[in-house]
Amino acid sequence: MEKTKKEKNELWEWTKALVIAFALAAIIRYFLFTPIVVDGESMMPTLENGDRMIVNKIGYKIGDLHRFDIVVFHAPEKKDYIKRIIGLPGDQLEYKNDQLYINGKAIAEPYLQQYKDEITDEGTLTEDFTLADIEQLDKIPDGYVFVMGDNRRYSKDSRHIGIVKIDDIIGKTNIVFWPFDQIGTVK
C-alpha cells in the first residue's frame, strides 16, 4: 500500500516538473527568444540560406533600435523577413554611386565590402534611389524604419515593400547557432 502511494507521489512530482518545464519553454519562446531559419539569399554574405538564428524578442523593446541592427519583422506577405535597419525615424535617406547618405552625410557600410569587391560587371551593388523615389516622403516618419538586405541586387526589402512599422518588428538577431561551422555572432 505504501509502495503504491510512493509511486503515485513520484509520478505526480515528475508530471509537475514536466508541466513546469514545458510552460517555461513556451514562455521563453513566446516572450523572450525564438529560433528562426534564414530563407533565401537576401542577406548574403552576412547570412546564408538555411542559417538558424536566435531572435531576441526583448532586446529591441528594452533598448532602442540602431542603424544596421539585423531585425526580423512581419512582412506584408504574411511572412517573416530578416533585414538590416538602414534608416531610422527622422532620417533622410539616399543612395548615390553605391554610397549610402543619411541626412546628406556619407555613411560607411563595412559589412557590404566583401560583396562590392566581388562585383565583376560594371554595375553597383545598390542602385541609386532616394526615399522620395520609393515612399514619396522626404523623411522616415516616427514609428517606422527603412530596411534592406545585404545582397542588394537580390533582396526584397523597403525598396519594394515600403517602410516597416516598428510595431511589426519581432526582434533583433545576431546569433547563428547552426550550422556548427557558422556558430557565432554577426554584425
Q: Which residues are catalytic?
A: 42, 83
One-letter amino acid at 71 equals: V
Which triple of cell numbers denotes residue 185?
555572432
Q: How many CB atoms lie within 10 A of CB 103?
A: 12
Q: How many CB atoms lie within 10 A of CB 99?
A: 14
One-letter amino acid at 44 equals: M
Which triple of cell numbers denotes residue 73?
519583422
One-letter amino acid at 98 equals: D
Residue carrying C-alpha cell 557590404: 112
One-letter amino acid at 123 equals: G
Which triple of cell numbers denotes residue 31?
516572450
d(CA 162, CA 38): 21
One-letter amino acid at 61 equals: K
Provide the 3-class DSSP secondary structure of residue 96. strand
